[in-house]
A = this chain, B = another copy of it.
């Protein structure tokens, strides 16, 4: 806890609306419970112990991480069931071994025969039976082996026949971020589910073990109609949500739990600009809404109490300067046509020097990463400082 209030907090600061966060956590967990699957949140979004504890208290089982540093930090505070959901570089195996030797139930990921060989060789040399999951590509957006690819069985045999434990198959339909229609999201969720279940079936048909079937992204997790054959779901950004997710269609702006507190430090009145002390160092350089139906620039401007100032976005950002203004009336990826008209001639009187604003970000994972800590705001105005990991 700090004695600060929103009025006195130094800016820029990363604010978490605690009630919104808890509602987002409950919504996802209830959905996973209803679909009959375990939920393993991806803690890369917040990299914050307090956030992960709230997810666990709501019913999450295990966590997903994107770096070994996350695994180490979360393990040190009592999280043991950890899936490292990035294909492991062979040079990182000693660090993974140290975690397992310390008692961490760390699961590795692989999508390449050479990496499987390296894991098996290192595991045999060290006498460690690594638990390894195989990454499946169900939408072509990044990594993984396609369910029908011969390499799937090759990798599984390289692991199994050399004494490693196959934990299961996992996939991430990250292309869901590019969609914005419910029917398309439902279809992609089914493609993600069916592809991963198919990969598991191929392993089982070859008498290889495959207990786990892990899928997930925030949009597909929230749109899947059934999850037959799936054992667990992973999602990360749902805990805060953000403007990209709002444009995808899986949350409202009023559900976004992360914002950046900032102070007006100047104006260019004839341009309708207010200059604020949150630039890209605070917001991140993420322009994820640039190619979506509604371009929010570097973020939606809100009053100190979180109420959106309709039509005002951060139109530009330098390192420690943000330019707040009415959305450009015309522009690539911009759909400001839906916004009410905004007067531009009164910026200095509407937002005088010293005004505190909140900027809702495009991408919560990227914006959060710019800060060493969050300031978590309760409904009663109390503020807690929650630290966040940085680096690898």
Q: How far is the CA of A86 from the CA of B92 in the complex (A)?
A: 41
A66: chain B residues at CB < 8 Å are: 281, 319-320
Question: B369 near A391 (CB under 8 angstroms)?
Answer: no
Contact of A86 among B67, B114, B320, B392 (CB under 8 A): B320
Cβ-defined partner of A372 (8 Å) among B67, B282, B390: B390
Contact B265 A115 (CB under 8 A): yes
Instruction: Tell whether A335 is near chain B: CB-to-CB under 8 Å.
Output: no
Q: A115-B353, A286-B285, A354-B89 are in contact. Are A44 and B320 (CB under 8 A)?
A: yes
Give Cα A88–Cα B266 distance, bound, in whole angstroms.
9
Assembly CA distance A281 to B366 (angstroms): 7
Q: Is A59 an interface residue (CB 8 A)?
A: no
A352-391 vs B, Cβ < 8 Å mask (1 yes, 0 no): 1110000000010110011111000000000000000011
Q: Are B112 and A267 in contact (CB under 8 A)?
A: yes
Given known contacts A266-B112, A266-B143, A285-B366, is B390 in contact with A318 (CB within 8 Å)?
Answer: no
> How many Å lie between the Cα of A116 and that of B321 in the bound state?
18
Q: Which residue of B lies closest to A354 (CB)?
A: B90
Question: CB of A287 within 8 A of chain B?
Answer: yes
B354–A118 contact, CB under 8 A?
yes
Chain B residues with CB below 8 A from A295, complex form: none
Given the contacts A320-B66, A320-B67, A10 and B92 also touching, CB distance less than 8 Å: yes
Interface centre among A44, A95, A285, A323 (most CB of B within 10 A): A285
Residues of A whose CB lies within 8 Å of any CB of B are: 8, 10-13, 44, 66-67, 86-92, 95, 111-112, 114-115, 118, 137, 142-143, 174, 263-268, 275, 277, 280-282, 284-287, 316, 318-321, 323, 352-354, 363, 365-366, 369-373, 390-392
Q: Which 3 A-B pairs have the closest CB atoms?
A: A285-B285, A372-B391, A114-B353
